Structure 1
Amino acid sequence: MKFTNSAILAFATTALAAPSATTPVKPRKAVAACSSAVTLDATTNIWQKYKLHANTYYRKEVEAAVSALTDSSLAAAAASVADIGTFLWLDTIENIGKFEPAVADVPCEEILGLVIYDLPGRDCAAKASNGELKVGEISKYKSQYIDPIVKLIKAHPNTAFALIIEPDSLPNLVTNSDKTACKNSAAGYRDGVAYALKNLNLPNVIMYLDAGHGGWLGWDANLKPGAQELAKAYTAAGKPKQLRGIATNTAGWNQWDASPGEFSTASDAKYNKCQNEKIYVETFGAALKTAGMPNHAVVDTGRNGVSGLRAEWGDWCNVKGAGFGIRPTADTGSSLADAFVWIKPGGESDGTSDSSANRYDSFCGKSDAFQPSPEAGTWNQAYFEELIQNAKPSLV
């Protein structure tokens, strides 16, 4: 059903890449890193200087996908995806092992994007992307997850890093506080996010705190509470100077500037003026400024090339008919939007369509979800080929 005003506070979350086993990957040929320590000025748009790095893990996935294409006419377009900068998800303690191979081939003019994503009771409103840490294991999150990442970044002062901090976490506390799982996770989310922001506040790091998307916190009733929730985390972390602002549309499908908007004709549209991500970035950005938090943004355009595919704004799982979107760029046309970036690796599943699976989420079985699809984070060759075919702008 369409979300009505009364359903706003129960808005469903966006499912994201879930834990996947670490696959040994040899780094590409070493390149020249910076000759001295990197210092990123978070008062400026660093994307005007740095290019998002095409990390070695996604490159290997894409190269394997090219060799397995069912349609050889897609080969050139598919191969080109390997050279597009994409964030690497450190979504388990084990996957911290991906850090060293990934950082080995980052040239000085590029920045390595990392997603920090392993809170206790992670993604409390979606079964597909539940994490490895149980509610209450906040000490383990700090000592075995955040602290090792901090140590690794400190060991590479000559490399620039862009971090997306805990997708879905704080937005869930705004809209899904009535769910028992989210209620139980709230304290750990707030403590964990503040700890991550405080300790990852390093000179060669730029951070963006996840803020959902326009169809989530963009509702009139959610704008102020959402901004206050994020600002409280920023304050609790000691107002880290390397936090630039927010990340929006992570693993999402919303258009940047579609007008009047994908769901503008819905009966409840009058309760949400954020009918595209541009309006959301500017509207939520104003609320963040009032709440006392930095308000610049990066927007995930990795899979939003096609609009009008979802039955409801909250449908998040492997949306059928999707295509790769605008490639990473700092040319956004908005003073608040620093860059369009690819946060979600296109081709990695949002969740399984197997209703008998332990982590099956009903959203992955909906009529607008691509089926069959494997477990979250697992490669889906057929879906990758669909993203290639429907890419807008086209890849070649």
Structure 2
Amino acid sequence: MSLPSPRRRRVRRALLTALPTALAGAALVAATLAATGPRLAPVAFANQSSPNPFAGTVPWVDPYSDAARAAAAEPDAWRKAMLEKVARGGSADWIGDWTPAPRQTVAQRVTQVTAAGAVPVLVAYNIPQRDCGLYSAGGAHSAEAYKAWIDEVAAGIGSRKAAVVLEPDALASLDCLSATDQARRYELLSYAVTAFNRYPAIATYLDAGNAGWQPASVMVDRLKKANVLGARGFALNVSNFGWTTDNVAYGRSLSSRIGWKKFVVDTSRNGLGPAEGFEHWCNPPERALGPLPLTPVKDDLVDALLWIKVPGQSDGECSRAEPSAGTFWADYAIGLAARAAS
């Protein structure tokens, strides 16, 4: 699945969805929804006793990824080895307004990944007013268009196991929206959680920013209003560089206030932790690949470490002469690999 070359954000990230099932009674759910903000129809709590969707699986490594294709074409032996190191980690598949025929595209990808013994990780990235109009601006043109798109993505997965990471940055960056638009965003995210819940083998993780963005109390409130109680859990550090330990501690703080929900952490570029200074989130120099996907973690709240961001894809122009968002940047990818632990 490739991302578009226009000015929209072309970022391939991964999307985690795995096994949420409904258990709680309708009265309890209705009371929770009333206390946490406007929603669609009440949905049951995802079953926290359901198995970790990634248990017993292998990471998905796309043989035709940007990094794999760049490695195949690279004549220099050292550069080739670094690109192969990036390619071996795999990544998630980002889907959005650039994805043609989302139901068919998603269905084909899920078939391909499942056949390899892996869990498809999809990143749904099409929320209206995406990225506050910045490098990844775009998204569905209306609430109804978004709902229809979500329904198509969910149907493309169907009854098969998958993980969906739902709308990176949509909650953490909520402050850029008016009160009316914030309410609409909560309603759309809640709709998406409910739509994926119709298929019990899908595990949905609402994006919750990262340990260095919003205070835990703020993010807990936003997650509740977006119906995290109906999801498998939440995702942290997507496309960011925060230390794994910091994000696990932050995730535990969130989880303790939302029913001990499970979470996943993006480790694609956090091998040397966060950068300092202006636009520290946008192609910062001297960063490194982090722990490989499905590296074991001694924490029962962490479903998986994943490479959700595609390592080597640009975050944007960043006020410098850099590739537009989503463009694979071989030199940056090589740097990430060269500085990473073996």
Instruction: Verify same fold: TM over 0.5.
Output: yes
Partner residue, 2:155: 151
Partner residue, 1:255: 243
| Aligned counterpart in structure 1 of residue 92 of structure 2, from 87, 92, 114 | 87
Cα contact 1:87–1:114 (8 A) shared by 2: yes
Partner residue, 2:216: 223
Deviation at 1:130, TM superposition (A): 1.0
Q: In structure 1, what residue type is equivalent to 2:284?
A: V
Q: In structure 1, what residue type is equivalent to 2:165?
A: I
Deviation at 1:87, TM superposition (A): 0.7
Question: What pairs up with 1:163-312 in 2 under 5 angstroms?
Answer: 163-173=164-174, 176=175, 179=176, 181=177, 183=179, 185-201=181-197, 202-217=199-214, 222-234=215-227, 239-240=229-230, 243-257=231-245, 276-289=246-259, 294-307=260-273, 309-311=275-277
Structure 2: which 5+ runs fail to align?
Answer: 1-6, 13-18, 22-46
Q: Counterpart of 2:305 in 1: which secondary structure?
A: strand
Please give the per-residue CA displacement for 1:70-114, whole angstroms capped at 9, x wherever unaligned. Answer: 742132342243343411000225353642442232227320000
Structure 1: which 5+ runs fail to align?
Answer: 1-16, 23-37, 258-275, 353-363, 366-370
Cα contact 1:52–1:113 (8 A) shared by 2: no
Q: In structure 2, what residue type is equivalent to 1:146?
A: I
Note closer, same or farther for the CA distance 1:65–1:226 as it changes in structure 2 (3 Å cut): same
Q: Counterpart of 2:298 in 1: which secondary structure?
A: coil
Deviation at 1:335, TM superposition (A): 2.2
CA–CA distance in structure 1, aligned partners of residues 54 and 143 of structure 2: 33
Note closer, same or farther for the CA distance 1:21–1:94 as it changes in structure 2 (3 Å cut): farther
Cα contact 1:223–1:287 (8 A) shared by 2: no
Q: Counterpart of 1:298 in 2: which secondary structure?
A: strand
Please give the per-residue CA displacement for 1:353-388, whole angstroms capped at 9, x wherever unaligned. Answer: xxxxxxxxxxx13xxxxx532111111121111112
Identity %: 27
Question: What pairs up with 1:66-105 in 2 under 5 angstroms?
Answer: 66-69=71-74, 71-92=76-97, 94-95=99-100, 96=102, 98-105=105-112
Q: Counterpart of 2:244 in 1: which secondary structure?
A: coil
CA–CA distance in structure 1, aligned partners of residues 171 and 207 of structure 2: 8
Q: Counterpart of 1:246 in 2: which secondary structure?
A: strand
Cα contact 1:42–1:206 (8 A) shared by 2: no
| Aligned counterpart in structure 2 of residue 133 of structure 1, from 140, 143, 147 | 140
Cα contact 1:349–1:376 (8 A) shared by 2: yes
Cα contact 2:237–2:265 (8 A) shared by 1: yes
Cα contact 1:122–1:169 (8 A) shared by 2: yes
Please give the per-residue CA displacement for 1:161-217, whole angstroms capped at 9, x wherever unaligned. Answer: 1110111111222xx2xx3x4545313311210111000111221111111111012
CA–CA distance in structure 1, aligned partners of residues 282 and 190 of structure 2: 29
Q: In structure 1, what residue type is equivalent to 2:333?
A: F
Over the aligned positions, Cα root-mean-square deviation in angstroms equals: 2.7
Q: Counterpart of 1:128 in 2: which secondary structure?
A: coil
Point out which structure has higher relative CO (alpha carbons under 8 A, 6+ apart): 2
CA–CA distance in structure 1, aligned partners of residues 269 and 249 of structure 2: 19
| Aligned counterpart in structure 2 of residue 122 of structure 1, from 130, 149, 159 | 130
Deviation at 1:389, TM superposition (A): 1.1
Q: In structure 1, what residue type is equivalent to 2:121?
A: G
1:374 matches 2:316: no
Cα contact 2:120–2:161 (8 A) shared by 1: yes
Aligned length: 300
CA–CA distance in structure 2, aligned partners of residues 147 and 104 of structure 1: 18
1:345 matches 2:310: yes
Deviation at 1:123, TM superposition (A): 1.6
Cα contact 1:48–1:330 (8 A) shared by 2: no
Cα contact 2:242–2:274 (8 A) shared by 1: no
Q: Counterpart of 1:297 in 2: which secondary structure?
A: strand
Partner residue, 2:57: 50
